[in-house]
Amino acid sequence: MSNRFPTKGRIIFHVDMNSFYASVEAAYDPDLKGKPLAIAGNPEQRKGIIVTSSYEARAKGVKTTMPLWQAKDLCPELIVRTPNFDRYREASRNMFEILADITPYVQPVSIDEGYMDITECADLGTPLEIAEQIQSKIKQELDLPCSIGIAPNKFLAKMASDMKKPMGITVLRKRELKNKLWPLPIDEMYGIGQKTAQKLQQLDIKTIGDLAEFDGYQLKNILGINGERLKNRANGYDPTPVDPDAVSIFKSIGNSKTLPNDTTDEQEINLLLYSLSDKVAERIQRKSVVSENIQIMIRYHDRKTITRSQQLHDYVELKDEIYKISSELFYANWGGSPIRLLGVTAQQLTEKDEITKQLDLFTYENEAKNEKLYQVVDDLSEKFGKDVFKKTVKNDTNDSVSTSFQKDFLDEFKRTRNPRSK
């Protein structure tokens, strides 16, 4: 029988694995420990983007999303490994198994971090003792470091886990906000991106404390409902529960890729759009959903980013449909400047089981006509590989990490183990 801590509120942990991919590689190969290590694509060609790096590499100025050539210039002794996703999945599963042994209330939010509600775990020790047990077990059994934030809600727990890395444990109480949280720069607040930070700084909101004390009505006028939510969080208020089922919720399916070099080459752009559309369609099929809205994202060489979407009159799920829409959106909105990143996202998803599609004669004839073709393509792809119909072109797919990896991992985690079943 679980025992509740003597508190009216909740006790929330945020467990954050430190430099996860690099730490997993160092656990697999102990010779890498204590050395500047980075995970990136195509290290032999000095191409690709830094996915993550060890703290030794960070001390030399190596940062996530930095081009590999730049990281090598900053740290010539940098050791580079290509991503090994199977290895990371296994380490993450093992980590979440350890968390689920403590409480059924575990909410993974990415492959390397998650929330825990330990309010009813008083029989296991004090909150600090439980955090030390978790940190020690993950280190001993997996040889991986983590930081843990302890707080009365998810937002404060997240902020606390960032305050001491690596291998830190930080308690953040509401009465400590003025001294611990409020002095932090506004762009270090969880939930505030670069654009929002710029808007807030224009209002002379430089710190989290400035945000906490700023006029709520003015914030709401400028940022909408998000302004009110951010002000509440700055004041230590976050009512969202730790929800073990939240991992199964998805509102969109998207893939993006950073190009190894900025480009205006239309052939390269078309191939990338087709590849992204193919990946989105594959995930749509795997999840048995359809989409009513397609969005593209274009990031230019100067990091200026735009998103454009098209509301559809019918459901789409096939790669050719998605590619047609995304390419039309792209060419209608591309300014001709060199492109650094492209993304394709299917939005407004509906499960196939929940819809009954009414086909008009034209749609029916087209779909009936193509049905056998689709089946042949699927059969041949199954037999000879999914690239059987693609042109033979140079396509450095390992240059970056697909944004779908963590989303797909969470879906798999939900299918293979419901934390409440423990």
Residues serving a catalytic function are: 113
Own/partner pairs for 240-245, CB < 8 Å, 24+ apart? 240/153, 240/154, 241/10, 241/117, 242/10, 242/12, 242/105, 242/106, 242/107, 242/115, 242/116, 242/117, 242/154, 243/107, 244/104, 244/105, 244/106, 244/107, 244/418, 244/419, 244/420, 245/414
Q: How buried is 225 (Cβ within 10 angstroms: 0-12 exposed, 13-18 middle, 19+ buried)?
A: exposed
Annotated binding site for Mg(2+): 16, 112
Question: Following CA atoms 138, 142, 147, 152 in sequence, which dihedral angle do they give, to the nearest 10 degrees?
Answer: -40
Look up tokens 């679980």; give the residue. 2
For the chain, the first-to-last Cα distance in angstroms comes to: 14
- Other C-beta atoms closer than 10 Å to the C-beta of 153 total 22
Annotated binding site: 16, 112
